[in-house]
Chains A and B, each alone.
Chain A
């Protein structure tokens, strides 16, 4: 288990939302851009790497109780996505790195 704050520091991630949700523990990660695949295979407490930026990612993260969403390839969340993230208290992070590189760096922390 790794503190989300530690992941943010180690990978130099940008925090889009929400500053007060960053002390949660992360148990691992899942990478995927197909929402039904993430619904089927991710686990509660994981950090989810994706390039999807629309509001439905918040519903998926909330329903699966994911630890955080990490947007790859420099993607920024849409304003309505951030609004939902605030409401559901979902951490949304970002990085210019591609998903493969993020997953590789993340896996070294576990």
Chain B
């Protein structure tokens, strides 16, 4: 078994990456559904899969809504599941503010479709054991969510 520290930064047992297209609401959620199917195949517990699915969905829809494009990568480590999302987009000027429940910069179009509740990042934080976000305004955002498996 490869060495792995407590935050899933070692070499993963399995890594799978997916492209997410910004603005493609029709496909929104497809990558998360595929990741959920993969985690089911691997045999993770339903409770862990539910938490991972929420993290993936919220992160995927953030790319769809705000970025030009992005990638979502899921890594299985011996003790952790790591979800990484890197996008090319406007970035988040104030990450702390964006993490506050109810804060949203969604457009009227997004709100009319039930997005923009200001619950996306809080939902990820609630379902992940660790959430890190780095963002550069005008370039993009990278997100790393870790869920402990044991």
Q: Most A CB atoms within 10 A — which of B26, B32, B115?
A: B26
Q: Would you call A52 an interface residue if the criterion is a C-beta within 8 Å of the partner chain's C-beta atoms?
A: yes
Say how far A74's CB is from chain B's closest CB, in angstroms.
Answer: 18
Known: A36-B115, A36-B117, A40-B126. A56 touches B28 (CB 8 A): yes
Within 8 Å by CB of B36, from A37, A56, A63, lies: A63
Main SS class of interface, A:
helix
Tell me how many residue pairs across A and B have CB atoms closer than 8 Å. 67
Shortest Cβ-Cβ A-B pairs, 10 listed: A59-B29, A36-B119, A34-B117, A35-B114, A63-B53, A36-B117, A52-B114, A33-B114, A40-B123, A34-B114
Chain A positions within 8 Å of B, measured between CB atoms, are 33-37, 39-40, 44, 50, 52, 54-60, 62-64, 80, 88
Which residues of B pack against A, CB within 8 Å?
Answer: 25-26, 28-30, 32-33, 36, 46, 50, 53-54, 56-58, 61, 113-115, 117, 119-120, 123, 126
